Structure 1
Amino acid sequence: MIPPRATIGIDFGTTNTVVALTGPEGDATVVRFVAPTGDLATFRSTLSFQLHPGADGRTPERVVEAGPWAIEAYVEDPLETRFIQSFKTFAASAAFTETVIDNRRYKFEDLLAAFLLRVRHHAGSALDHLPPRVIVGRPVTFAGGSPNASLALERYEAAFQRLGFTDIRYAYEPVGAAFFFARSLKEPANVLVADFGGGTSDFSIVRFEPSPDGLRSTPLARSGVGIAGDAFDYRIIDQLVSPELGKGGTYRNMGKVLPIPQRYYAAFARWDQLALLRASRDMKDIRALARTADEPEKLDRLIEVLDDNHGYALYQAVSRLKMDLSRDEAATFVFAAGSIRIEAPVTRAQFEDWIAPDLAAIEAAVDEAIAGSGLSADQIDRVFLTGGTSFVPAVRDIFHRRFDPSKIETGGEFESIASGLALIGRETDLDLWSERR
């Protein structure tokens, strides 16, 4: 049972979602889920849709799952499962209006509401009684080209209202992480928090001052860029996988040799787009190209990846490579699914060369936050790195080049934001740290 005055913080992430609760006394507590793979604090931001026979044995019944249960449904029956991941990346896209799943139209808010309802279901008694107030994390800059933040928050609002929340507030994700980190402070400090998610990299600089009345805090600056782990994934796919699926190849039409359209491979830049491409009119064009391609076997592989829903297997292969290269100077990329097997050696130096444009954009956002704070790098006392992409050595190097290593700390890479958001919900001046849509 949640205490009557509890607040709830929700970090709806591109890759993972975390929920934390706090009562009138004490720290925030992260909600845990008893999943097929074990006890988890992070809930994968995935959805699955399947049609099962209804009670009468004839009328189809739509079954929606989320998180580890969605992954389990996909693994058990990939051909009959519509599997969607990283769907947060089109929250701020005006170009995305809806997708059709099993002859039913889903807007973004429909997908998010379906996801949140399954999160609540799988949390069991921990979320039996929701408080009226929720603090929802939002990136400083949403992912995607020309992101519309107002549209994203409008969609969030519609989804969270369906769960019954009446006081919905939004706080920047790195600010939530800053509140989590500040619990350990014993003296005044200027803190830079860098939050690296799947879709965005966000930075916030906050002044914290312990006092007899508690921790006083003043926001100094924030910045962000719609580039993070998913962008790194795309670089790997673009270098190692797409060429084996026909990218850069040619086909013949009316006696002319023409390049295979690049737009089919741009979908790999965002995991959510793979599920959408599978159900799009482009599939008909891809099948036609395979019949006239100079290397048809490569287009056949692309068709198999999409038809047989190998996107999650590809995601796992890319994630393994990133983890291996965060630990070792060289690793082997292996993507094996169905009849497809792509294998290649990769060095950390190669990977860092591929992601160089993304690293430059992240560095620029860090410098923007520092400049906006009015502080020099020397005047920043503590640096807190959080989020999965913070494990990438080249990302950490951005901070080691700017700050004394003794100032840099990590921890709570997956739980800090939700906990901090819940703590923000206890602040007296909520308008200083959060906003309503």
Structure 2
Amino acid sequence: MTTAAIGIDFGTTNSVVALAHADGSVTTRSFATRQGAVDAYRSALMFWREGRPPETHVAHVSGPDALDMALGMTAEHRFLQSLKTHLSSRAFQETRLFGKLYRLEDLIGVFLADLAAGLDGLDRHTMLSGRPVVFAGERPDEELALTRLRAAYGHAGMGKVDFAYEPLGAAYWYARGLERAQTMLVADFGGGTSDFSVMRFEPGGRGGLEALPLSHAGVGVAGDSFDYRIIEHAVSPRLGKGGEYLSFGKRLPIPAHYHAAFAQWHRLSLMKSRETMAELKALIRDAVEPDRLEDLMTVIEYDLGYELYRAVSATKIALSSQDETVLRFDQMGVTIERSVTRAEFDGWIAADVAAIEGALDEALAKAGVSGEAIEAVFMTGGTSHVPAVRALFDARFGAQRIHVGDAFRSVASGLALLALDRSRAAAAA
């Protein structure tokens, strides 16, 4: 089939490319990896040095293969993930990888080039990329984020990319089969942000859709935040958080920054420096409970962050269908086994759910509509399955109005459809 338009969902954790065809059908691009073909391409990069001096050069791999190689590689390497979360932050300007300086947009451009590799006619097709309503970060700089994202697409050889809100893409995918006008709320839960849009859809001519955005709102709270709450309450205390060490006869708290890195598992590798390891060894000598800090050091030294987060993610998923589960982690002599109830988890994430509800209220208020005026709610993303989040939406809108879409493909597929309709409208004008 001939590709007529392309939709790109560049995500914090995974990215998806959707292809809209001339007949109006949409397919998602499949990527070949060591583990087999995937539609959701891991938003990750790994760099390492190849060859012997003076003929060495820096090589890289992206996607699921980057993660697989990073977990198994003993030589020096740099694994990078969640680059999207830094787009709006001036704190991350550049980094040096094996002697070469990379700006953030350069790194994202390397990933996007791999994502688009092999697609024909990039310069001819209408391309639409998703963007969050509110970029991740405490005080996100939207202009900076979009400037960097445009530059990254340019570095990847895709200079003609337009942008649309990610929930608009999700809404367009859901609304493609509408036969009557409908006012809809779209909740798009990613890894780093939760985005909301209130839309008015009307079936248009030639099978297209007339989409009127009424409002948008978002917050930098989503699935990664929920993972961190489990780490914070069930894992970090087992690895020394809240503990004490002795200094000149006084008991002092273990510095908090050693456990703050658990907010994102891949940041643990950045702690694996000679200075940090020396500091931990000194703390262990004086700690009241040295075995816990020894386990923390083992997690860092042997790059066990990913395995730890897999255990955390499995716990979160289990609590979506069970009232209680056991978080189990057993690697390199570090054993953590902790029962977690859904009631506990709900308490840990209560402030995050309240922040999500605040963004939802903002979207409704900006649109000037009440909850009763919303005829359908379309939810996409893994966080839509968290019981506390689902209970919030059930209570506000009623379960009968809620529809849950494909967590990975909805946004990209809708963006491709929207790009196709826009190109047809421009051609007919």
Please give the TM-score of this superposition, normalised by the length of structure 1. 0.91
Which amino acid counterpart does residue 186 of structure 2 have in structure 1?
A: V
- Please tell me whether the aligned partners of residues 192 and 225 of structure 2 are also in contact (alpha carbons under 8 angstroms): yes
Out of 260, 263, 274, which is 2:257 matched to?
Answer: 263
- Please tell me whether the aligned partners of residues 24 and 417 of structure 2 are also in contact (alpha carbons under 8 angstroms): no
- What CA distance in whole angstroms lies between the structure 1 residues aligned with 2:384 and 2:49? 39
Give secondary structure in 1 for the equivalent of 2:232: helix
Deviations along 1:378-414, one digit per CA (max 9) or x if unpaired, are 1111110101111111111111001121111112221
Q: Per-residue deviation at 1:279?
A: 4.7
Which amino acid counterpart does residue 94 of structure 1 have in structure 2?
A: R
Which region of structure 1 is more displaced relative to structure 2, 209-218 or 6-15?
Answer: 209-218
> Structure 1 residues 431, 70: closer, same or farther in 2, change over 3 A?
farther
Superposed counterparts of 1:110-129, under 5 Å: 110-121=106-117, 125=118, 127-129=119-121
Q: Per-residue deviation at 1:365?
A: 0.9
Which region of structure 1 is more displaced relative to structure 2, 197-206 or 308-317?
Answer: 308-317
- What CA distance in whole angstroms lies between the structure 1 residues aligned with 2:190 and 2:209? 27
Give secondary structure in 1 for the equivalent of 2:397: coil
- What CA distance in whole angstroms lies between the structure 2 residues aligned with 1:288 and 1:331? 36
Q: Per-residue deviation at 1:274?
A: 2.6
Q: Per-residue deviation at 1:299?
A: 1.8
How many residues matched? Answer: 424
2:156 maps to 163
1:86 maps to 82
> Structure 1 residues 427, 186: closer, same or farther in 2, change over 3 A?
same
Superposed counterparts of 1:49-88, under 5 Å: 49-52=47-50, 54=51, 59-77=55-73, 80-88=76-84
- What CA distance in whole angstroms lies between the structure 2 residues aligned with 1:280 and 1:139? 37
Matched, 1:195 2:191: no
- Please tell me whether the aligned partners of residues 18 and 30 of structure 1 are also in contact (alpha carbons under 8 angstroms): yes
- What CA distance in whole angstroms lies between the structure 2 residues aligned with 1:10 and 1:211? 24
Matched, 1:10 2:8: yes
Q: Per-residue deviation at 1:113?
A: 1.6
- What CA distance in whole angstroms lies between the structure 1 residues aligned with 2:424 and 2:162? 9
Out of 20, 23, 31, which is 1:22 matched to?
Answer: 20
Q: Per-residue deviation at 1:202?
A: 0.4
Question: How many percent of aligned residue pairs carry the same amino acid?
Answer: 47
Give secondary structure in 1 for the equivalent of 2:92: coil
- Please tell me whether the aligned partners of residues 79 and 309 of structure 1 are also in contact (alpha carbons under 8 angstroms): no
Which region of structure 1 is more displaced relative to structure 2, 313-322 or 296-305?
Answer: 296-305
2:412 maps to 418
- What CA distance in whole angstroms lies between the structure 2 residues aligned with 1:59 and 1:186? 63
Unaligned runs of 5+ in 1: 433-437
> Structure 1 residues 376, 339: closer, same or farther in 2, change over 3 A?
same
Matched, 1:297 2:274: no
**Considering only aligned residues, what root-mean-square deviation do their CA atoms show, in Å?**
2.3
Which amino acid counterpart does residue 78 of structure 2 have in structure 1?
A: R
- What CA distance in whole angstroms lies between the structure 2 residues aligned with 1:249 and 1:79? 33
- Please tell me whether the aligned partners of residues 113 and 157 of structure 2 are also in contact (alpha carbons under 8 angstroms): no
Q: Per-residue deviation at 1:281?
A: 5.2
Out of 340, 349, 354, which is 1:346 matched to?
Answer: 340
Q: Per-residue deviation at 1:426?
A: 2.6
- What CA distance in whole angstroms lies between the structure 2 residues aligned with 1:284 and 1:220? 55
Q: Per-residue deviation at 1:347?
A: 1.1
Which amino acid counterpart does residue 82 of structure 2 have in structure 1?
A: S
- What CA distance in whole angstroms lies between the structure 2 residues aligned with 1:111 and 1:280? 26
1:358 maps to 352
- What CA distance in whole angstroms lies between the structure 1 residues aligned with 2:143 and 2:181? 35
Superposed counterparts of 1:234-249, under 5 Å: 234-249=228-243
> Structure 1 residues 136, 431: closer, same or farther in 2, change over 3 A?
farther
Q: Per-residue deviation at 1:90?
A: 1.6
Give secondary structure in 1 for the equivalent of 2:111: helix
- What CA distance in whole angstroms lies between the structure 2 residues aligned with 1:424 and 1:281? 51
- Please tell me whether the aligned partners of residues 78 and 309 of structure 1 are also in contact (alpha carbons under 8 angstroms): no
1:273 maps to 267
Unaligned runs of 5+ in 2: none
1:369 maps to 363
Which region of structure 1 is more displaced relative to structure 2, 145-154 or 171-180?
Answer: 145-154
Which amino acid counterpart does residue 274 of structure 1 have in structure 2?
A: L
Which region of structure 1 is more displaced relative to structure 2, 220-229 or 88-97?
Answer: 88-97
Deviations along 1:234-261, one digit per CA (max 9) or x if unpaired, are 1000011111221111123334322111
- What CA distance in whole angstroms lies between the structure 2 residues aligned with 1:211 and 1:150? 33
- What CA distance in whole angstroms lies between the structure 1 residues aligned with 2:304 and 2:373? 48
- What CA distance in whole angstroms lies between the structure 2 residues aligned with 1:262 and 1:430? 55
> Structure 1 residues 39, 293: closer, same or farther in 2, change over 3 A?
same
1:435 maps to none
- Please tell me whether the aligned partners of residues 228 and 262 of structure 2 are also in contact (alpha carbons under 8 angstroms): yes
2:45 maps to 47
Give secondary structure in 2 for the equivalent of 1:327: coil
Give secondary structure in 1 for the equivalent of 2:158: coil
- What CA distance in whole angstroms lies between the structure 2 residues aligned with 1:271 and 1:94? 22
1:405 maps to 399
- What CA distance in whole angstroms lies between the structure 2 residues aligned with 1:238 and 1:307? 20
Deviations along 1:209-237, one digit per CA (max 9) or x if unpaired, are 11335321110011100000000011000
> Structure 1 residues 430, 193: closer, same or farther in 2, change over 3 A?
farther
